[in-house]
Amino acid sequence: MPALSSPIVGELIDLLQLERLEENLFRGQSRDIGTRFVFGGQVLGQALSAAQRTVDPARAVHSLHAYFLRAGDIEAPIVYEVDRARDGKSFSVRRVVAIQHGQPIFNFAASFHVSEPGVEHQLDMPDVPAPEDLPPPPPVPAEELARLPVKLQRWLGRRGAFEFRHVQPRNELNPAKRPPFQQIWFRLIDRAPDDATLHRALLAYASDFHLIGTATLPHGISYLHGNVQMASLDHALWFHRPFRVDEWLLYCCDSPSARGARGLARGLIYRRDGQLVAATAQEGMIRLLADAAEGRA
């Protein structure tokens, strides 16, 4: 792999490579990015990386579905066990279980397909400002940051491997109520190797950012509030067309429903030339706690 100018991107790519223990057994490490537990996108990207290592390179992943069973321990490695469920004439299916401390923390299934021609259509990309015309998110003021738990301070103060430009920015510390829609440009901050399987794993990682947060928009609540408890329950991702994550992609998210301490969010991901490259869906737990201190536990 060529040298990268950003050590943060290099670290993320290394995180997704995995160590092969046996033919269908892999081990991954975790990166503490300020979340209380392992970031869901990390487990998603690593599980996809493990599955891709067991499939004919001529077959590209076109869909994946996953359930988050337990919170991941940032301090411990994660073992990924791949089940080669099926290899047909044009499709392959893999099932993956992520294991920590002897228990499954994540279940995953992915389908792979050889390239073949067929009918084609897509929804048009919305007309939004270009990423260069949007400012990056402003830093949280130091006095407000100091009032947050240490983990959240690190999360908000970090420089991650992806940069984001919000078409409709909001103040997460004091969010106003608004309709459940948002559009975000994002890209990797450094050039990545020309490896389509790596770019798919990186997109799986990035697709967990901002998605379930869309379900909080109509309610004026935020994960930064001490009485709000949020966690991803599942995640689905469909790949439609080629892309690079080191070039700007537009994430168009909406939330059709929230009820019973759960919220549903959907997303469409476009290249800047208007090509629809992927679609996502996720349900998450969204609890409002009576005791604000409990929300920081």
Q: What is the pLDDT of residue 291?
A: 56
Sign, CA torsion 8/12/13/18 = positive
Per-residue pLDDT reduced to its tens digit, 70-117? 999 999 999 999 999 999 999 999 999 999 999 999 999 999 999 999
Residue 190, domain member (yes or no): yes
What is the Cα–Cα distance from 261 to 219, expressed in whole angstroms?
A: 13
- Write out pLDDT tens, residues 194-243: 999 999 999 999 999 999 999 999 999 988 887 899 999 999 999 999 99
Strand partners, 249: 186, 271
What CATH number corresponds to the domain at position 289? 2.40.160.210
Q: Check residue 296 and give its pLDDT.
A: 35
Q: Single out the catalytic residue among 100, 111, 207, 282.
A: 282
Interval 120-179: pLDDT, tens: 999 999 999 999 999 998 877 777 777 776 766 666 666 789 999 999 998 888 899 999
Question: Using CA atoms, how far apart are residues 231 and 216, in angstroms rounded to an integer?
Answer: 12
Residue 278 placed within a domain: yes
- Kindly tell me if the per-residue pLDDT of 30 is higher than 50: yes
50 vs 149 pLDDT, higher one: 50
120 lies in some domain: no
Residue 115 among the catalytic residues: no
Amino acid 98: pLDDT: 98
Could you list the residue range(s) of the whole structural domain that residue 146 is in? 7-115+131-296
In the residue annotation, 282 being an active-site residue is answered as yes
Active-site entry in 49, 182, 207, 232: 232
Catalytic residue among 208, 234, 246, 254: 208
pLDDT band at 67 (very low <50, low <70, confident <90, very high): very high
Is the residue at 41 inside a domain?
A: yes
Check the CA dihedral 113-123-266-151 and report its sign.
positive
Between these two residues, 292 and 25, which has the higher pLDDT value? Answer: 25
- Write the DSSP string, the chain: ----S-HHHHHHHHHHH-EEEETTEEEE-----S-SS--HHHHHHHHHHHHHTTS-TTEEEEEEEEEE-SPPPTTS-EEEEEEEEEE-SSEEEEEEEEEETTEEEEEEEEEEEE--------PPPP----GGGSPPPPPPPHHHHTTS-HHHHHHHH---SEEEEESS---TTSPPP--SEEEEEEEESSPPPS-HHHHHHHHHHHTTSSTGGGGGGGGT--TTSTTEEEEE-EEEEEE-S---TTS-EEEEEEEEEEETTEEEEEEEEEETTS-EEEEEEEEEEEEE-S-TTGGG-
Confidence of residue 36 (pLDDT cuts 50, 70, 90): confident
What pLDDT is stored for residue 295 in this prediction?
39
> Is 121 a member of any domain?
no
Number of domains in the chain: 1
* Residue 291 annotated among the catalytic residues of the structure: no
Q: Is residue 122 part of a domain?
A: no
| Helical pair 196-206 and 40-52, crossing angle rounded to 10 deg | 160
Least confident range of 15-19, 61-65, 288-292: 288-292
Is 126 inside a domain boundary? no
What is the pLDDT, as a whole number, of residue 223? 81
pTM of the model: 0.92
Residue 102 covered by a domain:
yes
* Amino acid 5: pLDDT: 64
Please determine, for residue 6, whether its predicted confidence score (pLDDT) is greater than 90: no
Residue 157 has what pLDDT? Answer: 63
Distance CA 264, CA 285 (A): 9
